[in-house]
Amino acid sequence: MIRRTLAALALLLLWPTLAVAQDAAAPLPPLPRVVIETSAGRIVIEVNDRQAPITGGNFLKYVDERRFDGTSFYRAVRSAPDLGLVQGGTNNDPAKTLPPIAHEPTTVTGLSHVDGAVSMARYDAGTATGDFFVSIGPSPSYDAGHPYSIDEHGFAVFGMVVEGMDVVRGILVAPTSPTEGDGFMRGQMLEPRIDIITARRDTAPAT
């Protein structure tokens, strides 16, 4: 009887440890995905709101409030063949743009501007709102913390294109206006722009 009681007590003492171990082994839920239907084709973005909760959450808020509907991809920066970025979003439209968010540098999130990375466009750190860009080819100079970084803060990666990089690469080589755009952006503005028809969360399970 005493042995049985001691065994039961030992099991009770071990139960919290066993429960924690089971929780630790439980798989994390899949990251949310967003389907962007454009006039050039379909792009699917996996939003990493786990590592970049501020930036990823901001993007999802724009999606959930349908603020990207009727906007466009409007800029293509070609650094080399099959290397550069395409930029889209609200383009400072006051009817669609939410207040700026805090900056989440790659040194904090652990993310990087690899091929297909989705990141926030901005002026100064902490000014990002509803404009984003997709890296075509690796762009480590957009990360923070490197001697060769474009600036010390870098840009805030929050997602990855998981379907439709062929569409993104097609946007990169689409025609641009030789005169539209201010300063260094002259010659980078798409003409015509690539319409973002809708942006919705993907309700289908990830495969």
Measured in degrees and rounded to the nearest 5, phi and psi for residue 144 equal -85, 160
Q: Give the mean model confidence (pLDDT) for residues 171-177.
A: 96
Q: Give the mean model confidence (pLDDT) for residues 200-204.
A: 89
Helices (H), the chain: 2-25, 53-64, 106-109, 165-172
**Alpha carbon 79 to chain centroid, angstroms:** 21
C-alpha angle with apex 172: 167 to 177, nearest 5 degrees? 125
Average predicted confidence (pLDDT) for the chain: 90
Closest by CA position to 61, among listed 47, 44, 51, 75: 47
Q: What's the pTM?
A: 0.85
10 pLDDT above the threshold of 50 = no
pLDDT digits (tens, 9 = 90+) for 114-139: 999 999 999 999 999 999 999 999 99
| Residue 21 burial (CB count, 10 A) | 10
